[in-house]
A = this chain, B = another copy of it.
Amino acid sequence: MRTLLYTEAIREALDLAMAADQRVYVMGLGVPDPKAIFGTTAGLQAKYGPQRVFDMPVAENGMTGVAIGSALAGMRPVMVHQRVDFALLALDQIANSAAKWSFLFAGKQSVPLVIRLLIGRGWGQGPQHSQSLQATFAHFPGLKVVMPTSPYDAKGMLLAAIADPNPVVFLEHRWLHSTFGHVPPEHYHAPLSQALVSRPGSDITLVASSLAHIEALQAANILAQHNISAEVLDLRSIQPLDRETIHASLKKTKRLLVVDHGWKSFGVAGEIIASMSEIAFTDLISAPQRVTAPDHYPATTPAHANLYYPGVAEIVNAALHMFKRTPMSESDMQLTIPLHRDVPDKNFRGPF
């Protein structure tokens, strides 16, 4: 079984997309530089030339407009920002232009644009370099918003996003970049709209995406030791939200716990709980719960990382609480749960 790093999977997707379709180009600050967006664009400029793989001015809103215009003219731009935070500068073009284009122009035109946005965390990233803004994008109709967890999905969903005629916001968590997993060499698509049951179970449904999904899987392992069988769903797509798959799981487990690294209020976890409360109220036998970042910002000091970010322990305890069990003791936690700090564990080579 061929395994690749997450970054290599992204790179391979870009490479295959560019080879297959002349219209695809990749642009962003640092795209052709020696660091190559953490390796995800390495070698592409050498292979496809500076007309198709290039740097840009520091002008997020304008360059998003440029990408949109070039898409209208026949290109397939892939834009990348080293931090999702910078995309707030471009929200006018993303939300007022790209998201509304197809509807406004009656489907006569559309904007096939992929925007890769990297989520930062730890090592003093601070409030302006570590936001998880999936809910902000997902709220605007007309955008597809995806957050692949596995290298397999990263490649397949990026290829699907590039092939899609609509604007797709593609969120990559930096801490996933160093994880690895099975990635077939060929050109394939993973769906942009379907959650994945990544671990079947019968007692409680854990819904999560991206880095939080990996934590949910770890939590499921620990819950198993407590004789709780957790079904874990990898959301993969935030917008559209795969309410069917979540509902199907709840019919079996009757308990819902959502994990998301965005802020609690007005976030993704809330939407999932709301949807399920609306349509699956009678299936639920206890109050649905969420484990999220607090409605606050993380300081840069490493002293804050452990306190700010929710992690495996919080997921496990939230689940135990739903079963009216006592929370894990501090010492139990020390034994079973890798302490997440302000950088990913050095030994953590994921995905599990």
A residues near B (Cβ < 8 Å) are 61, 85, 88-89, 91-92, 95-96, 100, 103-104, 126-128, 135-136, 138-142, 239, 241, 262-263, 265-271, 273-275, 277-279, 281-282, 284, 286-290, 295-297, 299
CA distance A342 to B282 in the complex (A): 38
Which of these, B263, B287, B297, contacts A281 with CB under 8 Å? B287
Which of these, B140, B269, B279, contacts A287 with CB under 8 Å? B279
CA distance A91 to B96 in the complex (A): 13
CA distance A80 to B80 in the complex (A): 33
Q: Is there an interface contact between A89 and B61, defined as CB atoms closer than 8 Å?
A: yes
What are the residues of chain B within 8 A of A269 when measuring CB–CB?
274
Q: Is there an interface contact between A278 and B287, defined as CB atoms closer than 8 Å?
A: yes
What are the residues of chain B within 8 A of A289 when measuring CB–CB?
278
CA distance A287 to B283 in the complex (A): 10
CA distance A288 to B273 in the complex (A): 11
What are the residues of chain B within 8 A of A287 when measuring CB–CB?
277-279, 281-282
CA distance A68 to B105 in the complex (A): 37
Which of these, B91, B274, B297, contacts A290 with CB under 8 Å? B274
What are the residues of chain B within 8 A of A128 when measuring CB–CB?
96, 100
| Given contact pairs A274-B277, A279-B287, A239 touches B268 in the complex (Cβ within 8 A) | no
- How far is the CB of A285 from the nearest CB of chain B, in Å? 10
- How far is the CB of A244 from the nearest CB of chain B, in Å? 15
Q: Is there an interface contact between A277 and B266, defined as CB atoms closer than 8 Å?
A: no
Which of these, B103, B127, B138, B290, contacts A266 with CB under 8 Å? B138
Residue from the set A127, A279, A299 with the largest chain B CB neighbour count within 10 Å: A127
What are the residues of chain B within 8 A of A61 when measuring CB–CB?
89
Q: Is there an interface contact between B95 and A92, defined as CB atoms closer than 8 Å?
A: no
What are the residues of chain B within 8 A of A138 when measuring CB–CB?
265-266
Instruction: With CB as the reference atom, state the residue of chain B lying closest to A277.
Output: B277
| Given contact pairs A273-B273, A274-B290, A295 touches B95 in the complex (Cβ within 8 A) | no
What are the residues of chain B within 8 A of A92 when measuring CB–CB?
88-89, 91
Q: Is there an interface contact between A135 and B266, defined as CB atoms closer than 8 Å?
A: yes
Enumerate 28 A-B pairs (CB-CB under 8 Å) in ascending A order.
A88-B92, A88-B96, A89-B92, A91-B91, A100-B128, A103-B127, A103-B299, A104-B297, A135-B135, A136-B136, A138-B265, A139-B265, A265-B271, A267-B271, A269-B274, A270-B270, A270-B271, A270-B274, A271-B274, A273-B277, A274-B288, A277-B288, A278-B288, A278-B289, A279-B287, A281-B284, A281-B287, A282-B287
What are the residues of chain B within 8 A of A284 when measuring CB–CB?
281
What are the residues of chain B within 8 A of A88 when measuring CB–CB?
91-92, 95-96
Q: Is there an interface contact between B282 and A278, defined as CB atoms closer than 8 Å?
A: no
